[in-house]
Amino acid sequence: MPSKLTGKCFCGAVHYEVADEFLYAANCHCSNCRRTTGSAFKPFAGIEREKLVLTEGGDKLLIFGDESGHNAHCGRCGSLLYSLVRDGAYVHVAMGTLVNDPSIRPTEHIFVGSKAGWFTITD
């Protein structure tokens, strides 16, 4: 039976559970991911939407987008928890919100053509 991981936002208002069955993981350097995280890139792990369940604070989510694709933030502290992608079929979990270590690690950098000029990829 696959293990479950937990995650939460910075202030603890929103919690989730996700199966440790991620299909892929990457570091995204696109301008949208940089802006939504306030960082050089967003480390994320992709999984089928139904394998992520909000366990607390679902009513506190702040959604940017629609049912086919959006970013889900905590409405209180602003933490980006996940992005709904691929016409709503998958979620990209922001790996920094995971409480436990997942079995997967990011294996690639994507959208490097739009990476921050002040950041150098060293791996």
For the chain, the domains span 4-114
What pLDDT, on a 0 to 100 scale, did the predictor assign at position 2?
Answer: 63
What architecture is the 4-114 domain classified under in CATH?
A: Beta Complex (2.170)
| Residue 20 to residue 43: CA distance in whole angstroms | 16
- Kindly state the percentage of the chain with pLDDT values over 90: 98
The position carrying tokens 């928890």 is 81
**Which helix (H) or strand (E) is 2 found in, with range?**
none
How many Cα atoms occupy the beta-carbon half-sphere of 115 within 13 Å?
16
Claim: this prediction has a pTM higher than 0.85: yes
Distances (CA, A) of 50 to 9, 29, 105: 20, 26, 21
The position carrying tokens 């950041």 is 119
Q: What is the pLDDT of residues 34-47, one digit of tens each?
A: 999 999 999 999 99
